[in-house]
Amino acid sequence: DQQVKQNSPSLSVQEGRISILNCDYTNSMFDYFLWYKKYPAEGPTFLISISSIKDKNEDGRFTVFLNKSAKHLSLHIVPSQPGDSAVYFCAASARTGANNLFFGTGTRLTVIP
Amino acid sequence: KAGVTQTPRYLIKTRGQQVTLSCSPISGHRSVSWYQQTPGQGLQFLFEYFSETQRNKGNFPGRFSGRQFSNSRSEMNVSTLELGDSALYLCASSSGGRGDEQYFGPGTRLTVT
């Protein structure tokens, strides 16, 4: 049972435009959300996170939005750059105290120069 | 600071065999988590070790086991390999507190024939 879902396996965006990656979750116990970026042959690298007490967190070109009532979060990348081309994973953590992350299946972003 | 290292990077095994994968966390990190990545399922949590004790476990059969040594290095063992165990196995280290950023290694690509 996939508790974190990324329904778009791929996304193509022109350089300089906005990339919007979406993520949905089903477990209401999740209270901490993260985005990871993964290049081929490398492990995922942390990008940005958001706690459930916030609805927005911004870090440079990256902004994560959280809509708790819809159990939905999104990652906005503005402006998109070719180096952003990678697989993006959404992850969530539950407030049970455990340290494990629940990941989505990933969205492959391609930024076209 | 050196990153998370995993050995070996690639491995080919036959059905029925067993395999041991190794992970060396970032110096000072006491938590090591293991994840399995497959194309259809994304990253799925296997287990987490903290200070040589298994602190958390995912929904994997008992064929998957692990341990952690006093220097925080961790090993993961899979016995009686099945074709479906072919995957990228990733380990992540962190300080161990909930919400602490997890740093991933490059992974071990296991192929079972």
pLDDT tens per residue across span A56-92: 999 999 999 999 999 999 999 999 999 999 999 999 9
CA angle at A11 for the pair A78 and A94, rounded to the nearest 5° = 80
> CB distance A103–B40 less than 8 Å?
no
- Mean of per-residue pLDDT scores for chain B: 93
Asked whether the predicted pLDDT for residue B1 surpasses 70, the reply is no
Q: What is the mean pLDDT of the segment spanning B71-91?
A: 96
Residue of B41, B50, B56 with shortest CB distance to A105:
B41
Q: Which residues pair with A110 in a beta bridge?
A: A12
Kindly report the nearest CA distance between residue B57 and chain A, in angstroms.
9
Q: Is the pLDDT of residue B108 over 60?
A: yes
| pLDDT at residue A98, as a whole number | 61
pLDDT of A97 reads 55
pLDDT at A46 over 60: yes
Give residue A95's pLDDT band: very low, low, confident or very high (50, 70, 90): low
Quick one: average pLDDT of B74-100? 91
Q: Is omega for the bond preceding A113 within 30 degrees of 0, making it cis?
A: no
Give me the percent of chain B exceeding a pLDDT of 90.
81
Looking at residue B39, what is its pLDDT?
A: 79
Of B94, B96, B107, the CB nearest to A43: B107
Q: Residue B2 — pLDDT band, cuts 50, 70, 90?
A: confident
B104 shares contact with chain A (CB less than 8 Å): yes
Q: What is the reported pLDDT for B101?
A: 80
Lowest mean pLDDT among B13-22, B52-61, B68-77: B52-61
Q: What percent of chain A has pLDDT over 90?
A: 84
Between residues A100 and B37, the one the model is more confident about? B37
CA gap B45, B4 in Å, rounded: 17
B90–chain A Cβ distance below 8 A for any pair? yes
What rounded mean pLDDT belongs to chain A?
A: 93
Chain B interface, best mutation among A99, A102, A105, A107, by max B CB count within 10 A: A99
Structure tokens that stand for A15 in this block: 């350089």
Task: Say if the Cβ atoms of B90 and A105 lie within 8 Å.
Answer: no
Residue B99 near chain A (CB below 8 Å): yes
- CA distance, residue A112 to nearest chain B CA (Å): 24
Mean pLDDT along residues B41-63: 91
Cβ-contact B103, B26 below 8 angstroms? yes
Q: Which of residues 42-81 of B touch A (CB under 8 A)?
A: 42-45, 48, 50, 55-56, 58
Q: What's the whole-number mean pLDDT along residues B99-111? A: 90
- Residues B6, B104, B109, CA angle at the centre, nearest 5°? 45
**C-alpha A83, offset from chain centre:** 17
Do B43 and A89 count as a contact with CB atoms less than 8 A apart?
yes
- Give mean pLDDT, residues A92-112: 85
Write out the residues of chain A at the interface with chain B, using a CB-CB cutoff of 8 A. 2, 6, 32, 36, 41-46, 49, 51, 89, 91, 93, 97-106
